Amino acid sequence: MPEFNAPLRDMRFVLQEVFDAPALWARLPALAEIVDAATADAILEEAAKVTGQLIAPLNRSGDEEGAQWLEGQVSTPNGFKEAYATYIEGGWVGLSGNSDFGGMGMPKMLAVQFEEMLYGANSSFALYSALSSGACLAIDAHASEDLKNLYLPPMYEGRWAGSMCLTEAHAGTDLGIIRTRAEPQTDGSFNITGSKIFITGGDQDLTENIIHLVLAKLPDAPAGPRGISLFVVPKVLVNADGSLGQPNAVSCGSIEHKMGIKASATCVMNFDGASGWLVGEANKGLAAMFTMMNYERLSIGIQGIGCAEASYQSAVAYARERIQSRAPSGAVAKDKIADPIIVHPDVRRMLLSMKAMTEGGRAFASYVGQQLDLAKFSEDAQERSDAQNLVALLTPVAKAFFTDSGLDSCVLGQQVFGGHGYIREWGQEQLVRDVRIAQIYEGTNGIQALDLLGRKVVANGGVALRQFTHEIRVFADQPDTKYSVPLLDAVERLENLSDWLQEQAKTNPNEVGAASVEYLHLFGYVAYAYLWARMAQVAESTRGEDEAFYGAKIATAQFYFSRLLPRTLSLEQSIRAGSASLYGLDAEQF
């Protein structure tokens, strides 16, 4: 199995040169005292060691062994428990967590780089702490001070983990029809009864305790999503002094046997009158849970980038070494019987597509991280509001476009290997299997597309969209913006389509659903064009300092604008074709 090496040079380029993150941190008082360029570099270097040397070597063995369930207990593959103990010693679970409760308080711009490394090294391992980080966010944002003080410190330490318990066998996207019940008790707690499925890390042997965030309905709850409340339900009850008490009435009924992420335990969780405590207000649990869901959606999007990066690294190494046939223009490796396959146009097409989409995704993830930092730490109310609007707009794009393109890239990486890509020992088939789930969980990509177009564009008249496109136009209007013409053309296409769809939706309710996936993809390509134009601008201005690195950036930008951005043309045609053809068949005719 190929080694995974974190792309540190590229991450520094994005953070320090494209976004000048140290300057941003310096002007935000909450960050200025804890992080600067040197601190960020040290964290990235250590993260690269942890992911590359500790976690990545367990990826293939973890996939082959998988998580195991026996008599209600889940065990992780050999080596996971020891690696997790070392992992939490470094404080990685709490990297961007609230420092008031033991987190490191680092900016999200830095955390997204670490998450990419983690998913690239071992997606199954990454999920255990990713769910913990998201659960901590929800507790921190919505729980009482008593609950925060009781649960957050050991969760940020990594001694306790978190899980998110939403889905039921009959209720996936439509959470308003969940059946799990919460009965109030005289001591202020609630008895939680019901079953949840597809619970990542619902049980495992890595931590002392697991803190489940459970959606349930009170006896007098109104029907539908407005009647959902959120509860914290520990696997092991916690005493007032923070020590562990008796086991709660929580059990793992089984684990799923899956296509990929086999070392991540995906559990059926049963709550049989388990003790739970209300998080936030009654009947407003869905809003509280979305604090966690939105974190997880960006995180899972980054899974797509991480897996694509891992696939790209091994595909490039293979293409440089594997010799087959001669280059179309004549022999390149004249001392060998054939040329390395990297000389062939189609192999270059695949590798450049992977490179352009992965590096574009990395820059876009950093941009979303920047908006999250501004929304959280800026002392300017307008800046916070603008950043919050962009986060709401861009989160579904990040989740869906990162993972759709991530699967595409992993399939391309597998294709570069030819038949060897289908063989387990090379690792490419595992990446295809592991990344596939990212398009499904935390809200399917179709749901993300509906959220983007239906809620974030049509429902509010495209306010946040105009904010984003205005920013792009301001950048493109600079005299030294090399790709201003195709960038502005793409922005205009996005704006015109958005206006057209808003008009169509007034008379035909099917139009939003019919156009949403293609619209999200078109949006993604335009967003990447913005980031590639910014990266190319920096690379052009500093090219002489490192010709190999910056020259590669410039060439990849050229490939993106000439070969990938034109996909928006066909997407536009599909969108403008409307919804009528989707309804040409009766259900029985399918």
pLDDT above 90 for 171: no
In whole angstroms, what separates CA 478 from the centre of its chain?
Answer: 32
| pLDDT band, residue 524 (cuts 50/70/90) | very high
Query: Around Cβ 67, how many Cβ atoms within 10 Å?
Result: 26
- Rounded Cα gap, residues 301 and 526, in angstroms: 17
Q: Provide the b/e sequence for 244-275 (b: ≥16 CB within 10 Å).
A: beeebbbbbeebbebebbbbbbbbbbbbeebb
Q: 233: which strand partners?
A: 212
- Rounded Cα gap, residues 380 and 246, in angstroms: 47
HSE-CB at 171 with a 13 A cutoff on CA atoms is 19
How high is the pLDDT of residue 481? 86
pLDDT above 70 for 422: yes
H or E segment at 391?
helix 381-416
Out of 157, 168, 442, 518, the active site residue is: 442
| pLDDT band, residue 189 (cuts 50/70/90) | very high
Return all residues near 187 (Cβ < 8 A) that are at least 6 apart.
none
pTM of the predicted model as reported, rounded to 2 decimal places: 0.97
- Rounded Cα gap, residues 558 and 536, in angstroms: 9
Q: Do 44 and 22 contact (CB within 8 A), yes or no?
A: no
- DSSP H helices, 122-278, are 123-142, 145-157
Digit-coded pLDDT (tens) for 368-408: 999 999 999 999 999 999 999 999 999 999 999 999 999 99
Q: Which residue has the higher pLDDT, 586 or 290?
A: 586
How high is the pLDDT of residue 1? 57
- Reduced to 3 states, what is the DSSP secondary structure of residue 129? helix
Mean predicted confidence (pLDDT) in 399-425: 98
How high is the pLDDT of residue 292? 76
- Reduced to 3 states, what is the DSSP secondary structure of residue 196? strand
Three-state secondary structure readout of 237-284: EECCCCCEEEECCEEEEEECCCCCCCCCCEEEEEEEEEEEEEECCCCC
- Rounded Cα gap, residues 588 and 590, in angstroms: 6
HSE-CB at 278 with a 13 A cutoff on CA atoms is 19
Digit-coded pLDDT (tens) for 463-496: 999 999 999 999 999 988 889 999 999 999 999 9
| pLDDT band, residue 287 (cuts 50/70/90) | confident
442 is catalytic: yes
